[in-house]
Amino acid sequence: MASVQLLLERWVPDDVDLYVYPTFVEGGVAARLRATLLGVGGAVWRLLTERVDVVHVNLSKKASVLRKGVILSVARHRGVATVVHAHAGLFLDWFDGLPRPARALVQRLLVADRVVALNETVRDGYASRLGVPMEQMLLMSNPVEWPSDIPDRSGSGPVVAAFLGYFREMKGIFDLVRAVSLLPPEQREHFRLVAAGHGDPEPVRAAVRQAGCAEAVEVREYLPPPERDALLAQTGILVLPSYAEGLPMSVLEAMAWGVAPVVTPVGGLGDLIRDGHNGVLVPVGEPDVLASALSKLLVDGEARRRMGAQAREDVHVFAAEPWAARLVELWRSLAADHDTARSDGTVAIR
Residue 205 in any domain: the answer is yes
Residue 71 in any domain: the answer is yes
| pLDDT value at residue 340 | 46
Is residue 310 located within the same domain as residue 199?
yes
| pLDDT value at residue 100 | 95
Residue 343 CB neighbour total at 10 angstroms: 18
Per the CB < 8 A criterion, the answer to whether 152 and 267 are in contact is no
CA dist 141 and 176 (Å) reads 26
**What are the 10-residue block averages of pLDDT along the chain, 350 residues in total?**
84 92 91 96 97 94 94 96 86 93 96 92 90 94 88 88 96 98 94 95 97 97 93 97 90 96 93 96 98 97 97 91 92 86 48
Is residue 296 located within the same domain as residue 193?
yes
Please give the span between the terminal C-alpha atoms of the chain, in angstroms, as a whole number.
8
Residue 148 in any domain: the answer is no
Which strands form 280-281's sheet, in the order they lie side by side? 217-221, 191-197, 159-164, 237-240, 260-263, 280-281
CA dist 102 and 85 (Å) reads 21
Q: Tell me, what CATH number does 56's domain have?
A: 3.40.50.2000
CA dist 98 and 180 (Å) reads 37
Residue 301 in any domain: the answer is yes
| pLDDT value at residue 315 | 93
Q: Domain count for the chain, please give it.
A: 2
Residue 152 in any domain: the answer is no
Is residue 132 located within the same domain as residue 249?
no
Residue 82 in any domain: the answer is yes
Is residue 167 located within the same domain as residue 50?
no
Is residue 181 located within the same domain as residue 138?
no
Is residue 93 located within the same domain as residue 192?
no
Is residue 166 located within the same domain as residue 82?
no
User: What string of DSSP letters covers 211-279?
Assistant: HT-TTTEEEEE---HHHHHHHHHH-SEEEE--SS-SS-HHHHHHHHTTPEEEE-S-TTHHHH--BTTTB
Is residue 274 located within the same domain as residue 219?
yes
Is residue 185 located within the same domain as residue 256?
yes
- b/e per residue, 181-207, with b = 16+ CB within 10 A? bbbeeebbeebbbbbbbebebeebbeb
CA dist 133 and 329 (Å) reads 20
Residue 198, by phi and psi: left (phi above 0), alpha (psi -120 to 50) or beta? beta
Residue 298 CB neighbour total at 10 angstroms: 20
Is residue 190 located within the same domain as residue 221?
yes
Can you give the residue range of the structural domain that contains 34? 2-143+319-349
Residue 185 in any domain: the answer is yes
pTM, to two decimals: 0.70
Residue 153 in any domain: the answer is no
Cα R_g (the chain), whole angstroms? 21
Residue 279, by phi and psi: left (phi above 0), alpha (psi -120 to 50) or beta? left
Is residue 326 located within the same domain as residue 188?
no
Is residue 177 located within the same domain as residue 60?
no
DSSP state of 141: P
| pLDDT value at residue 350 | 43
